[in-house]
Chain A
Amino acid sequence: MCDKAMESNRAVIVGIIRSNHPMTRDVFLMTVTVPHGFESAMPGQFVMVRVRGREFPFLPRPFSIHSLYREGEASTMEILYQVVGDGTRLLSSLGSGDELTILGPLGKGFDTRYDRRTVALIAGGIGIAPLHFLAQYYNKKNVHGEEKPRLVCFMGARTADGLIGRERMEQLCDAVMVSTDDGREGYCGMVTDCFVDNSKTMDTADLILYCCGPYEMMKRVALMAGDYSVPCQVSMEARMACGIGACLGCSVKMKSDGRPVRYGRVCKDGPVFDSKMIDW
């Protein structure tokens, strides 16, 4: 199995699915063996995935890396994904031994050079996908050569079963606050409001926010971060074709401060942006 993965060249990596399990009704966790060399991926980076040998769906699909670890001669990558259309539906039907063509790791990941004592990860639903990798990263090595920052994770979902990977985050973080729209689990309401309530006890001068979730949620977090003058990084999502900056399909409007309109490419200039750069 690894031999095949090792054959891959830079352009088209062949990944071999090891497992592909439903976590909820529509969220799946896929484990893929990828060639050696892939472990240089940084949290927040993504991969473009197609089912090997299949012409449908036509375009590859972007997925953020959920976790990555070295295993012998190859690496193991996890992709956490929600079934939202025909492409992800096909992906969810695959099983152990099926092959993927993978392009990556791609894009700019989270900037972890901030020297802050508290790191808040704010996830809405499937937005936990890249933040889990970031939490692993903070645990794996002391990125600042100093004391490990305090990791606090805010996870929000409509209902309790949407709090995907909560137990894993509890192992990686110093605290995990959950919120659900119906209040059956944790805080009743939006994850952004849960964060506001808890932020009162945080020293905002020593805080950094990393956020991934629905657009409106990230927008609220970005506005709060601006109000508190807290650095905030958001992981954006967009339909894209190439993943390498050529198709100009995944545009997001950047703040232009009176200058002509300017679009950034989610795939190349992102997917992680400083929240202040986006024209929300």
Chain B
Amino acid sequence: MKVKIGSLEIKNPVMTASGTFGYGEEFEPYVDLDRLGAVVVKGLSLEPRPGNEPPRIMETPAGMLNAVGLENIGVKAFVADKLPYLRWHSVAVIANIFGETLDEYVRIAEHLNGVAGVDALEINISCPNVKKGGIAFGAHPGDAAEVTRCVKAATDLPVIVKLTPNVTDIAEIALSVEGAGADALSLINTIRGMSVDVEKRVPHLKNITGGLSGPAIKPVALRMVWDVARVASVPVIGVGGITTASDALEFLIAGATAVQIGTANFINPRATLDVLEGIERYLVEREIGDVNDLIGTLAI
């Protein structure tokens, strides 16, 4: 079941998606972390962020909108208070990072470089819920490449770049960050959306708009993964509405080397393991000895 994400080898292709699994310990009663391929932690900024004013979430048909606003404890507190718990486990730890400026991305990457227990960085250039930075970097090929190049120069760790779907041509952005040295690509982040309370005639979210996630976005994510995997030469990590093993298999067949489970963790805290066990069963039943033999085998 082993797969390689750049120079990082993980024990299986099932990861958690950033922002849906806390810092791992929240899921202690439900998930044996040692069984997962990797834990991608809640996005980290240089300084702690309180996040957006509530209400922050709203249910939608087959999904949810969120405008949490990247609430997090900051990179220093992560290393001091949260990383020790993760280090007790054999699971690979991927630190998701974001900044409002190029300089902030670089300083977080520098802070995490050489920290024992961090196995890779995932750069978030695609959060729709912060006013500065974030989306701006992810929406332009040149900016996306620049932040990738700067982070690569600041770290020895493998760098995964998480792409936004809120662009006209995601493959163009993908090729641009690959050219800037990205070791892998993860896609997609949430799709911008909104929801209105018709009684009060106000948005359901205080932030007005939010990011849509859950099964509702799965076909969009799958199409984008396919679009990118066809042209990219680095591994692609599929994320977006994956809830079942069958969902995950679709992404692997379409070309994803690994998958991230996000919103599904909220409705079933054991979703990651359910997906993993389902993939294992699928491979056994079809006598496929190596999951890599399944990746990108979509017959057209």
Query: Which A residues lie at the B interface, using CB under 8 A?
Result: 10-12, 50, 55, 57-60, 103, 238-242, 244-253, 260-263, 268
- Within 8 Å CB of A245, what residues of B? 22, 26
Q: Which of these binds chain A: B54-62, B83-91, B109-117, B174-182?
A: B54-62
Q: Quick check: is B161 within 8 A (CB to CB) of the other chain?
A: no
| Cross-chain contact of A246 among B22, B48, B62, B215 (Cβ < 8 A) | B22
Q: Are A11 and B51 in contact (CB under 8 A)?
A: no
Q: Which of these binds chain A: B249-257, B262-270, B282-290?
A: B262-270
Q: Are B267 and A246 in contact (CB under 8 A)?
A: no
Q: Which of these binds chain A: B63-71, B133-141, B186-194?
A: B63-71
Q: Are B50 and A260 in contact (CB under 8 A)?
A: yes
How many contacting A-B pairs (Cβ < 8 A)?
93
Q: Quick check: is B20 within 8 A (CB to CB) of the other chain?
A: yes
Can you name 26 A-B pairs with beta carbons within 8 Å? A10-B29, A11-B270, A50-B267, A58-B59, A58-B62, A58-B215, A60-B267, A103-B269, A239-B58, A239-B59, A240-B57, A241-B64, A241-B263, A244-B26, A244-B27, A244-B269, A246-B20, A246-B22, A246-B27, A246-B266, A248-B56, A248-B71, A249-B57, A251-B54, A251-B71, A262-B50
Most buried by B among A12, A58, A240: A58
Query: Which B residues lie at the A interface, using CB under 8 A?
Result: 19-22, 26-27, 29-30, 48, 50-51, 53-64, 66, 68, 71, 214-215, 263, 265-270
Q: Are A239 and B55 in contact (CB under 8 A)?
A: yes
Q: Are A248 and B58 in contact (CB under 8 A)?
A: no
Name 4 extra pairs, CB < 8 A, besides A50-B267, A58-B62, A246-B27: A58-B60, A58-B64, A58-B267, A251-B54
- Within 8 Å CB of B266, what residues of A? 59-60, 241-242, 246-247
Most buried by B among A239, A241, A262: A241
